[in-house]
Amino acid sequence: MRGGQVVPEAVELPSEVASVAAAEAWVAEVCEACGLGEGEQYRLGLAVHEAVVNAVLHGNRQDPAKRVRLSWERRAGRLYVTVGDEGEGFTPPEPSDGPSLKPSGRGLVMIDRLTDGYQIVRRDDPPGTDLALVLKLIK
Amino acid sequence: MAKIDTRYDGEVTILDITGRLTIGDGDVVLRENVRRALSDGSKNIVLNLEQVTSVDSSGIGEMVASYTATSQQGGKLKLLKPSMKTRDLLTITRLITIFEVFDTEAEAVESYS
């Protein structure tokens, strides 16, 4: 609840880079509703930012006919934020011992370290891929 | 919108970056300014990150691309005053072992001599 308004449990955004800012604003409200501190807000905010970038660029390939779907729920002492796209899915990169000098491919590595875990779930209806981010809630 | 001002200290080119180093914003501005500096003959480039407000994987990726482009020209790109959050991202991505990072401009400039 923020300013007397309930944070939407789910929102849909266009497959464009500008949606990243809208997603950041939405997850900031989610964090506030859950009473998260500044550090946790930063971690989850950046993780969602990276997940939405992946969904827009790689999942939906900026197809204007496709949408990015965000949802959240609190369950069993954890906050789950799901970022869904209409893409074919992906395989997480293998752990690397050393630094990579490639210009891309760091989003999931950052998500892994910023959150308390994530799951990639293939979805059938509507077809696509969900990336579920998990953050433990401190009581 | 991110902004970059270019200045010089001897043979060292310093890019003062202000704003977000993120997708569709600072990453593009950084790429353009580093390319311009390299085409102008700069080899010693310092990215001053003191006024950078946020960084994402695209910003990190552009820093890496800038580092590589500078190295290919026989030069060296170094970082000045990244925030703790940016340092953490460099650690997470293991790039902290690639970039030379300085807390003062004097140390950064001196490192090229």
Q: Is residue B90 helix, strand or coil? A: helix
What is the pLDDT averaged over residues A53-70?
96
* Record: contact B61-A106, CB cut-off 8 A: yes
Is the pLDDT score of A104 beyond 90? no
* Record: contact A107-B93, CB cut-off 8 A: no
pLDDT at A139: 62
Cβ-proximal residues to B104 (8 Å cutoff; 6+ apart), any chain: B80
CA distance B4 to B29: 7
Q: Which residue of A has its CA nearest to B98?
A: A99
* Record: contact A53-B62, CB cut-off 8 A: no
CA angle B99, A21, A61 (to 5 degrees): 80
Q: Does residue A50 belong to the interface with chain B, where contact is any CB pair within 8 Å?
A: yes
- Pick B23's closest partner by Cβ from A20, A99, A110: A20
Q: Which residue has the tokens 């949408």?
A: A67
Q: Which residue of B has its CA nearest to A16?
A: B24
User: Could you read off the pLDDT of A75-89 as tens digits, one per residue?
Assistant: 999 999 999 999 988
Tokens at residue B110, please?
């001196």
What is the pLDDT averaged over residues A64-74?
96
B interface toward A at CB cutoff 8 Å? 22-24, 54, 56-58, 60-62, 64-65, 67-68, 85, 89, 92-95, 97-98
DSSP track, A112-137 = HHHSS-EEEEEEETTEEEEEEEEEEP
pLDDT at B84: 97
Backbone angles phi and psi of B65, in degrees to 5:
-60, -40
* Record: contact B56-A49, CB cut-off 8 A: yes
Interface with chain A: mutation pick from B25, B31, B34, B58, highest number of A CBs within 10 Å: B58
User: Could you read off the pLDDT of A118-137 as tens digits, one per residue?
Assistant: 999 999 988 999 999 999 99
What is the pLDDT averaged over residues A92-111?
86
User: Could you read off the pLDDT of A3-48 as tens digits, one per residue?
Assistant: 445 788 999 999 999 999 999 999 999 999 999 999 999 999 999 9
pTM for this entry:
0.92
Q: Name residue B47's beta-bridge partners.
A: B15, B79
Interface with chain A: mutation pick from B23, B27, B96, highest number of A CBs within 10 Å: B23
Q: Does residue A6 belong to the interface with chain B, where contact is any CB pair within 8 Å?
A: no
What is the pLDDT averaged over residues B90-102?
96
pLDDT at A44: 98
ipTM computed for the complex:
0.92
Is the pLDDT score of A93 beyond 90? no
pLDDT at B72: 97
User: Could you read off the pLDDT of B21-77 as tens digits, one per residue?
Assistant: 999 888 999 999 999 999 999 999 999 999 999 999 999 999 999 999 999 999 999
Tokens at residue A28, please?
């900031």
CB pairs under 8 A between A and B: 54
Lowest mean pLDDT among A12-16, A66-70, A95-99, B94-98: A95-99
More confident residue, A103 or B54: B54
pLDDT at A125: 84
